């Protein structure tokens, strides 16, 4: 049996753990470097939350480089909302995307819709909370897998999936299953 690590510095990490439990997958919370150094997981989730705070904590706790290197070496990862920002150019830089932060505005700009995600299907519930979107894909090895109103809201590059929305806040398990299927 394998485990999935969930970055648990700030944000919606518990909700990801609950989805993974529904799928029968054990989780481990990454809160400090010693958690990361124990290893033993097969994938990583970078949750929503506040990307500036998460990035500062990654650096302060010595997690930035080990996590960046593991992703660059092929560790399957799902980054949602702030996690998508962390994967992007200018942050961890493992995913060749440029992201517009808070693209849909403040909390009042939050919304819910359904859409299509390549590799998953149609009618995927999408909850956007002060969400970013992908302004630009910077290389041919990165592909948009979902758009909403002409904006890229999900992309995949190798073993990396990034979404502007929060799949952990809906009952649909397909995005998390896609991460598990990459293991």
Residues with a catalytic annotation lie at 81, 166, 168
Query: In Å, how far are 22, 24, 166, 174 from 9, measured between CA atoms?
Result: 22, 23, 17, 25
């Amino acid at each position: 049996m394998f485990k999935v690590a969930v970055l648990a510095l700030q944000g919606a990490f518990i909700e990801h753990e609950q989805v993974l439990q529904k799928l029968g997958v054990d989780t481990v919370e990454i809160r400090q470097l010693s958690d990361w150094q124990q290893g033993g997981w097969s994938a990583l989730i970078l949750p929503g939350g506040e990307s500036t705070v998460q990035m500062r904590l990654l650096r302060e706790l010595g997690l930035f480089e080990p996590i960046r290197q593991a992703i660059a070496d092929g560790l399957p990862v799902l980054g949602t909302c702030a996690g998508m920002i962390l994967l992007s150019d200018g942050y961890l830089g493992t995913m060749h995307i440029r992201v517009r932060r808070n693209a849909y505005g403040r909390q009042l700009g939050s919304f819910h819709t359904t859409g299509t995600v390549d590799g998953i299907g149609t009618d995927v519930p999408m909850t956007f909370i002060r969400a970013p979107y992908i302004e630009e894909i910077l290389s041919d090895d990165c592909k948009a897998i979902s758009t909403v109103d002409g904006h890229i809201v999900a992309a995949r590059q190798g073993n990396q999936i990034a979404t502007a929305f929060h799949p952990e806040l809906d009952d649909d398990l397909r995005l998390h299953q896609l991460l598990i299927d990459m293991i």
